Structure 1
Amino acid sequence: MATAGLYRRVLPSPPAIDFASDDGKKLFIEAVQAGTMEGFYKLISNFQTQSEPAYCGLASLSMVLNALAIDPGRKWKGPWRWFDESMLDCCEPLEKVKAEGISFGKVACLAQCVGAEVEAFQTSQTTLDQFRQFVKRCCSSDNCHLVSSYHRAIFKQTGTGHFSPIGGYHAGSDMVLILDVARFKYPPHWVPLTLLWEAMDTVDKTTGQRRGFMLISRPKRDPGLLYTLSCKHESWVSVVRYLMDDVPHLLKAKDVKDIKGVLSIFLASLPSGFRKFIQWVAEVRGEQDSGIGISEEEKRRLAIREELLKQVQDTGLFKHIVNFLSSTSCCRIVPIFGGSEDLHEIAASVCCQGAEILGGKSSTSGCACCHETCVKCVNADGHKTAMMLSATIVNGKNEEKVNMLVLQSLVELSGGAPDTNNTSTRPVGSNILTALLLMLPPETWCGIKDEKLLEEVQSLVSMDNLPAMLQEEVLHLRKQLYLLKKCQESKVDENLSAPCT
């Protein structure tokens, strides 16, 4: 048994039973025989110790995400696509989490932001018996895992609020196995399920809300394959407010008569930093992975993205946007969406984004200089469907070589007025703007006074008129937008229900 001190605390027993003790082993064997340890194996294969005292929520989440084999869409270190606490920074800055911890609602928000399916419940929203059924369901399967938010004092342990995944259930004794991510403090241990409920049924003084549990599972398809929303840039709060609050009011206040008028109103007052809010999804590589060859996995993702891009460009809304951007003379709109940059400027911008991702930074403000940009076509299945954008990023005294693999059709620019019959000459911004307008909540357009125009707009943005793959992409973006809105209003802990889609 561990002795008290800096190495590890003595586990108070009772009420807990050490997983490695004789009684703990007996409970494990009986639970395995009963079929309620199915989720344990993948969790233990990805068991993670929190790297900071306040990172229990992040460690629990990254452990579960890796157990579910959810693709983070970017690399952790070297060539490895792997979730780590340092990558879970989209709902709360890591420095703030390190200093203050993270709330139950924001952990649920984080899980959804990175693409997991999440059902989150505060104890006030469910019952003990329902919780027991959820535990049995997750522990009898390896495609769903349960993360609990509880107060340690109920177990006579030191500390306050804590997160950890549940690794198994023993029906005979009605006990659950807590895979404590603070392994430096306590080992995995069994506790009575009723006592865990009591520990969850406590109030987090920071939020004023009760703690609870969340069920995390893998989605049917990896979301956000073409675009993703970012809240790393400081402008995201004003962008979310503009999209969710200002645009509906502007449409209601103006007497618009056609689609061009709708687009003009939407683009007229865009907040600064808008382009950083919605970003391409790209393969990020460091200098050590500079080979031009494309793996089969990358080819598969490129093929899906190419098909998604084609579906975006086949929508009626895209055609209206192309015509509008090619005819507008607004000096503010064209630079943002008209695709007037030099290709090497795009390479520099995208590679700065890549350096930010690889470095785990919260903004690109530290990217002082980007030089030696290089653009190469890459063959995939005999077709030049991808481009490798490379650059040397200079940040102070440090230099980093970054490569990003993106669709060729995403970075080819128009040499004048767009040709709607030729994908390679369509402006980059038309694709982004189409995806952005499609993801806005349906109620955005309800303020349009002209009934005929309202009917036309609703038809253009209707989910029913989109192919299934594009529907999933749009719904994911819309869910991200709802989550960011709740973060902006500090309501993620007040309303844990999944965003309406």
Structure 2
Amino acid sequence: MAATESFYQRILPSPPAIDFSSSEGKQLFQEAIQGGTMEGFFKLISYFQTQSEPAYCGLASLSMVLNALAIDPGRKWKGPWRWFDESMLDCCEPLERIKLEGISFGKLICLAQCAGAKVKAFRTNQSTIDDFRNHVKTCSSSDDCHLISSYHRGMFKQTGTGHFSPIGGYHSEKDMVLILDVARFKYPPHWVPLTLLWEAMNTVVKTSGLSRGFILISKLRKPLSLFYTLRCKNENWVGIAKYLIEDVPRFISSEDMNDVRMVLTTVLSSFPSDFGEFIKLVEDSSQEEKDWFSIKEKILKQVQETGLHKYVKEFFLVREISCCSGEFPTLLLLALPPLAWNGIRNPNVLQEIKALTLTDDLPYLLQEEVLHLRSQLQLLDRCNGNRLEEDFGVPLL
């Protein structure tokens, strides 16, 4: 059996790139510091990591940026520690698939949003080189915004094709950017001309026919959710998301619904049995343990006090389904987009359902949870249908 060919790093083609650790690279670094456009570098370099799989460049770039922004994942990594790692980024796409195929531009955006970051993204056909330069300057001049670039390595005479990596800094006078290449087993961090990076981004991904681009990631002013999140560690989430987004509106519009009980019975009767694996209670929070449990119980009580929960609980009690007390199904139904119920033909029933699911009337804590789950659900639906690849800029309802 023939031995598999192996490599120890690659020689960085220079030009066009300049090795960060070379004399010229160090000089560029010092000058950029003086120019005030290396502020984001220090946070990023503190959490710089090497991608753990050949196709994990997107995941490594994102986990590095999330940690640099001090975003709490709200769940354990190992032992007692909450920390972003590539293995934690299991929303939007199964890790096994990413390991084989990598991750698309749109689904990396989905991951960043599901992780609790504020995200703005642009393909090159949606931006200009001047806009890109301004974004690079802005992010490089502060430590509360970071930029991930999606580019084709061939433009730099490097081996490989599409790649993701964070931008670590900018040299204004030379118009060069520092790429913190997460494939450190292959190439070291290096400076490249911004104009050439733009050309490398202004290429088309063969599988999608769409341009590459860049993602701006920053920290939200407040956490998206304290306790509940949607999970998709296995393929079951596809069927559950499809049921909630596509099947529920169809079921309730397929026949005359005479009252609210009939509507909810129709919906809950076909509810996927494994929905409990789709919505999860976040194990940890930045709150003190005593406070965390206190708030959790308060939110559960708020769910139980909704008019919708009374119908859901009754459904499970009548059918003697003891494994479910109704909180999770209630949350999922509250998280449905308001338009999901519009197919109900009876105007009085529609009005009553709208009243039961109206988020504006929910207590603040529960409202925050529901709106987060709704945002996640819509993101997952768009990811599943690959619509996020084209309309990731479309706001969620």
Normalising by structure 2, we get a TM-score of 0.92
* Cα distance per residue 1:113-143 (max 9 Å; x no partner): 2222222221112221211222122222212
Of Structure 1 and Structure 2, the greater strand share is in 1
In the TM superposition, what are the counterparts of 1:451-462 in structure 2 within 5 Å?
451-462=347-358
Contact 1:119 1:498 in 2 (8 A): no
Contact 2:151 2:203 in 1 (8 A): yes
Asked if 1:89 is matched to 2:80, the reply is no
Provide closer, same or farther for how the CA distance between residues 36 and 470 of structure 1 changes in structure 2, counting only shifts above 3 A. farther
SS at match of 1:447: coil
Q: For residues 83 and 269 of structure 1, do their structure 2 counterparts lie closer, same or farther at Cα, with a shift above 3 Å needed?
A: same
Paired letter, 1:465: D
The alignment's TM-score, normalised by the length of structure 1, stands at: 0.74
Alpha carbons of 1:27 and 1:70: their partners in 2 closer, same or farther (altered >3 Å)?
A: same
Instruction: Give ranges in structure 2 of 5+ residues lacking alignment.
Output: 1-5
Tell me: higher relative CO, structure 1 or 2? Use CA pairs within 8 A at least 6 residues apart: 2
What CA deviation, in whole Å up to 9, does each residue of 1:235-274 have, x standing for no partner? 2222111111111111112222322122111112123423
The answer to whether the Cα contact below 8 Å between 1:482 and 1:499 also exists between their aligned partners in 2 is no
| 1:306 is the counterpart of 2:294 | no
- Partner amino acid, structure 1, of 2:47: N
- Residue 38 of structure 2: aligned partner: 37
8 Å contact 2:226–2:282 — kept in the other structure?
yes
One-letter identity of the residue aligned with 1:306: E
CA deviation after TM superposition for structure 1 residue 498, in Å? 5.1
Give distance in 2, aligned partners of 1:271 and 1:179. 44
Give the 3 Å change call, closer, same or farther, for CA 306–42 of structure 1 in structure 2: farther
| Structure 2 residue aligned with 1:116 | 117
Matched, 1:441 2:341: no
- 1:463 matches 2:359: yes
The number of equivalent residue pairs is: 392
Identify if the C-alpha distance between structure 1 residues 488 and 296 changes in structure 2 by more than 3 Å, giving closer, same or farther. Answer: closer
For 2:358, the aligned partner's letter is S
Distance 1:321-1:229 versus aligned 2 partners, 3 A rule: same
The answer for the alignment partner of 1:355 in structure 2 is none
Which residue does the alignment assign to 1:318?
309
Alignment of 1:75-154 (within 5 A): 75-154=76-155
Return the match for 1:489 from 381, 385, 391: 385
* Structure 1 residue ranges, 4+ long, deviating more than 4 angstroms after superposition: 323-326
Deviation by residue 1:187-243 (Cα, 9 ceiling, x = unmatched): 111111111111011111122211111111222333343222122233222211111
What root-mean-square deviation, in Å, do the aligned CA atoms of Structure 1 and Structure 2 show? 2.2
Q: Which amino acid aligns with 1:87?
A: M
- Matched letter for residue 165 of structure 2: S
Whether 1:472 aligns to 2:372 is no
Alignment correspondent of 2:346: 450
Separation in 2, partners of 1:305, 1:63: 30
1:389-409: CA deviation from partner (whole Å, max 9, x where unpaired):
xxxxxxxxxxxxxxxxxxxxx
- The change in CA–CA distance for 1:301 and 1:167 in structure 2 (over 3 A counts) is farther
Distance in 2 (CA, whole Å) between partners of 1:267 and 1:87 is 31
2: CA distance between counterparts of 1:464 and 1:475? Answer: 10
Aligned to 1:54: 55
* 1:486 partner letter: R
* 1:185 alignment partner AA: K
